[in-house]
Structure 1
Amino acid sequence: MSGRTRRAGLLAACSLVLAAGTLTGCGSDDSASSSADPELEVTGAYMPAPSMDTMAAGFFTVTNSGGADTLTSVTSDLSDDVTMHATVDGAMREEKSFAVPARGTLDLASGGSHLMFEKLTHKPGQGEKVSVELHFAKSGTVRISMPVKPATYNPKTGR
Structure 2
Amino acid sequence: MISTRNLMAGLLAAFIAVPAFAADIKVMDAYARSASPGAVTGAAFMHVMNTGAEEDRLIAAASPAAEKVELHTHEEDANGVMRMIHVEEGFVLPAGETLMLERGGKHVMLMGLTGPLAQDDMVEITLTFEQAGEIKIEVPVDLERQGGHSMDHGSDHGASDGS
TM-score by length of 1: 0.69
- Give a deviation string over 1:104-143, Cα, whole Å, max 9, x none: 1111001111111111111120010000000111101111
**Larger CA deviation: 107-116 vs 44-53:** 44-53
Q: Is the 8 A contact 1:50 1:57 kept in 2?
A: no
Q: Is the 8 A contact 2:33 2:43 kept in 1?
A: yes
Q: Which amino acid aligns with 2:130?
A: A
Q: Which amino acid aligns with 1:78?
A: A
Does residue 102 (structure 1) correspond to residue 95 (structure 2)? The answer is yes
Tell me by how many angstroms 1:53 deviates. 3.2
* Root-mean-square deviation over aligned CA pairs: 1.8
Distance (whole Å) between structure 1 residues aligned to residue 58 and residue 72 of structure 2: 12
Tell me by how many angstroms 1:48 deviates. 2.0
Counterpart in the other structure of 2:68: 81
**Larger CA deviation: 78-87 vs 49-58:** 49-58
> Does the C-alpha gap of structure 1 residues 53 and 114 become closer, same or farther in structure 2, counting only changes over 3 Å?
same
Distance (whole Å) between structure 1 residues aligned to residue 67 and residue 32 of structure 2: 17
Distance (whole Å) between structure 2 residues aligned to residue 40 and residue 122 of structure 1: 29
Gaps of 5+ in 1: 1-37
Does residue 42 (structure 1) correspond to residue 27 (structure 2)? The answer is yes
TM-score by length of 2: 0.68
Question: How many residues are matched?
Answer: 119
Distance (whole Å) between structure 2 residues aligned to residue 84 and residue 73 of structure 1: 7
Instruction: Give SS of 1:119's match.
Output: strand
Who wins on radius of gyration, i.e. which is larger? 1
Distance (whole Å) between structure 2 residues aligned to residue 153 and residue 93 of structure 1: 24
1:136-147 to 2 correspondences below 5 Å: 136-147=129-140
Counterpart in the other structure of 1:154: 146
Structure with the higher helix share, 1 or 2: 1
* Superposition misfits of 4+ residues, deviation over 2 angstroms: none
Q: Is the 8 A contact 1:50 1:124 kept in 2?
A: no
Distance (whole Å) between structure 2 residues aligned to residue 41 and residue 63 of structure 1: 5
Q: Which amino acid aligns with 2:93?
A: V
Instruction: Give SS of 2:141's match.
Output: strand
Tell me by how many angstroms 1:49 deviates. 4.2
1:105-144 to 2 correspondences below 5 Å: 105-144=98-137
Distance (whole Å) between structure 1 residues aligned to residue 67 and residue 94 of structure 2: 28
